[in-house]
Structure 1
Amino acid sequence: MRLTLDNPRSVAAPFGDRFAHVARLDLAGGALLMLSGQVAVDDDGAVIAPGDITAQAERIFEIVGGLLAAHGAGFGDVLHIRSYLTDLAQLGGYAAVRRKVFTGRPPASTTVEVSRLFLPGAVLEVEVTAAR
């Protein structure tokens, strides 16, 4: 068993290098990937489309897809997804994007409403656990 903490070059570095984007646990025959929560930021770390959950969901899944790909995985390898929304009334916009990403059987899921996220204008944060 081997643990690697990674920040793939394909995705902007974490804010202030305070965390790793991916914790990878290599096991016999595969690996467990635990991704840090992702918000919709551009390559400079600015929130895109403040307040727009649909645009933010699309960007977040773009980032998550890049992190998974950097470890040889894809959305079909996702075991569990955790979603944090600042307003559950916007769940429909997020769910529509998610249905496009997870076209087969969807992964296990947790969705909660939070009072705010750490970046102003961010309305959604998503973290993922995957196995490859």
Structure 2
Amino acid sequence: MSRSSKEVFYHGKDFTKDFGYAQAVTVGSTLYISGTVSLDDEGKLVAPGDIRGQTRRIYEDLQRILEVHGVTFSDVIKEAIFTTDIDRFKEEAMPVRAEFYQGHTLPASSAWLQVSRLAFPEFLVEIEAIAVLP
């Protein structure tokens, strides 16, 4: 089987192609979800300055991508959270994360990283994930 026949690209939001990436790629039985930020379907920032609101939008988008691929947060095996303020994330956004994982198996690995800046200075959080498909 050739490499290209094993990959399926998912563009849930048309503007992602303009940035040169897919929102998700499946390779075999693994779903790789690209770093997801708080954008609406037209590519406009959702919840400026609100780390809780941005995190909620991100997890809503992650949930939508998982559902399209027939899986849930229980199937997420690795997650990486990038934020410009880890203390603020833990205080304000961790309860949002807990809502989405409630009743699901937590990832085997989850990196939480504070960075000086994300792709655009308005972004406070970016989350990527890897899930196993059925």
Shorter-chain TM range is 0.7 to 0.9
Equivalents in 2 of 1:46, 1:38: separation in Å?
13
- Please tell me whether the aligned partners of residues 73 and 105 of structure 2 are also in contact (alpha carbons under 8 angstroms): no
Question: What residue in structure 2 maps to residue 86 of structure 1?
Answer: 84
- The equivalent of 1:131 in structure 2 is 132
User: Which secondary structure does the structure 1 equivalent of 2:61 belong to?
Assistant: helix
Check whether the contact 1:15–1:45 (CA below 8 A) recurs between aligned residues. no
TM-score by length of 2: 0.86
Number of residues of Structure 1 aligned to a counterpart in Structure 2: 126
Greater share of residues in helix: 2
State the match for 1:50 in structure 2: 48
Query: How far did residue 75 of structure 1 move?
Result: 1.0
CA RMSD of superposed structures (Å): 1.6
Distance 2:93 2:132 in 1: 24
Partner of residue 95, structure 2: 96
**Cα distance in structure 1, aligned partners of 2:52 and 2:60:** 12
Q: Give the drift of 1:22.
A: 1.1
- The answer to whether the 8 Å contact 2:75/2:105 transfers is no
Quote the offset at 1:55 in angstroms: 0.5
The question of whether the paired residues in 2 share the 8 Å contact of 1:5 and 1:20 is answered with no
Deviation, structure 1 residue 62? 0.9
Q: Cα–Cα, structure 1 residues 66 and 52, in superposed 2: closer, same or farther, change >3 Å?
A: same
- The percentage of aligned residue pairs carrying the same residue is 30
Superposed counterparts of 1:1-132, under 5 Å: 2-8=5-11, 11-13=12-14, 14=16, 16-26=18-28, 31-91=29-89, 92-103=91-102, 104-107=104-107, 108-132=109-133
Moved more, 33-42 or 101-110: 101-110
Q: Closer, same or farther in 2 for the Cα pair 1:86/1:129, shift >3 Å?
A: same
How far, CA to CA, are the matches of 1:100 and 1:118 in structure 2?
26
Shift of 1:17: 4.5
Runs of 4 or more off by more than 6 Å in structure 1? none
